[in-house]
Amino acid sequence: MTATTPSRADIAIDVHGFSKSFGGREVVHDLSMQVKRGTIYGFIGPNGSGKTTTIRMLCGLLTPDSGEGTCLGYDIRRDADKIKRQVGYMTQRFSLYQDLSVRENLEFVARLYGVRDARATAREMIKRLGLNGREEQLAGELSGGWKQRLALGACTLSNPQLLLLDEPTAGVDPKARRDFWNEIHALAARGLTVLVSTHYMDEAERCHEIAYIAYGHVLVHGTVDEVIAKSALTTYTVTGDNLTTLSAALSGKPGIDMVAPFGTSLHVSGRDKSALDATIAPLREQHGVHWQHSEPSLEDVFIELMTRSKDNFQ
């Protein structure tokens, strides 16, 4: 343990300059990240932005083309075996055995991690997951929500120090999603570090820290408040009549970077406050429409980041 003692005990993931290409196309570019122990770190980004690829590099499933770093103090390139013992990885696609029952899957995982009494551990986990009565059901026959719970159970079975959850709530109903996040917070409260990728904004807001990744580039990271503050986005929330006409009228005008409907209101944002104000000045006088200066939402920030990154990287 001497050579591999973490340089900083409070850092769970510490990587620098990760890059990965597939067939000449770079899908992760010069990625660096630091995740503190005991935090829930959200990995946000559109599909194909390199979230899965990054997570796979972290747990040794893919070898980075360049860059290095440590995971739980172990070198990612050299100590993949040691990392695997301490990390629970929940894959994006359900990858437990569909033709094994809930109990059999959990016992299999428990045995692989060398848990002493695999049967008892699996039984305990079934109880904790609320899967009683379904333990003999084949995993392939479970509904999406139950599959996801089972997968979470399987990757926490060995009491890992770090959880890597790749879009764990995709295609799961809101109630199950909420339960899932409560569970993740409970785990983090016990000292687990959780890296979770998602593209749900409400989930991003439940993370201690987030990183936004697009086209393999980390565009911004920090707490939700920091990310919003960093965005330098000016946002107005517009309520009233004929918002559709207004939205059409605003799009593409100078200073308007984004117009997005939110329920009965419209979010109008721009990076250049003076240009934005100049453009909307005549419109603010219109009857029946109420303009209110507001904080941009996380979603505004992300949508703006995504639009901008599209210009930069495509």
Tokens of 62: 């893919």
Q: Is 101 helix (H, G, I), strand (E, B) or coil?
A: strand
Site string for other proteins, 140-159 (x = CB under 8 A): --------------x---xx
Q: Contact, 93 vs 52, CB < 8 A?
A: no
Decide which of other proteins, Mg ion, ligand ADP, none touches 115; Cβ closer than 5 to 8 Å per partner kind: other proteins
Residue the block writes with tokens 């419109």: 283
Decide which of Mg ion, other proteins, ligand ADP, none touches 117; Cβ closer than 5 to 8 Å per partner kind: other proteins
Counting other chains too, the contacts that 129-138 makes at CB distance below 8 Å and 24 or more residues apart are: 129/153, 131/102, 134/102, 135/101, 135/102, 135/103, 136/101, 136/102, 136/103, 137/101, 137/102, 138/98, 138/99, 138/100, 138/101
| Binding status of residue 54 toward other proteins by CB under 8 A | no
Least separation in angstroms between residue 199's CB and other proteins is 20
- In this chain, which of 25, 93, 175, 287 binds other proteins, going by CB under 8 A? 93
Tokens of 115: 């848990």
* Amino acid, res. 241: D
**Binders in 205-244 for ligand ADP, by CB under 6 A:** none
| Binding status of residue 52 toward Mg ion by CB under 5 A | yes
DSSP 8-state secondary structure symbol assigned to residue 140: G
Decide which of other proteins, ligand ADP, Mg ion, none touches 61; Cβ closer than 5 to 8 Å per partner kind: other proteins
CB contact set of 248 (below 8 Å; sequence gap of 6+): none
- In this chain, which of 13, 31, 33, 96 binds other proteins, going by CB under 8 A? 96
Applying CB under 5 A, which part among 88-96, 211-219, 259-267, 282-290 lies near Mg ion? 88-96
- In this chain, which of 47, 245, 264, 314 binds ligand ADP, going by CB under 6 A? 47
Least separation in angstroms between residue 253's CB and other proteins is 47
Q: Contact, 57 vs 64, CB < 8 A?
A: yes
Q: Which residues bind other proteins (CB under 8 A)?
A: 56, 59-63, 80-81, 84-85, 87, 89, 91, 93-100, 104, 107-109, 111-118, 120-121, 124, 154, 158-159, 190
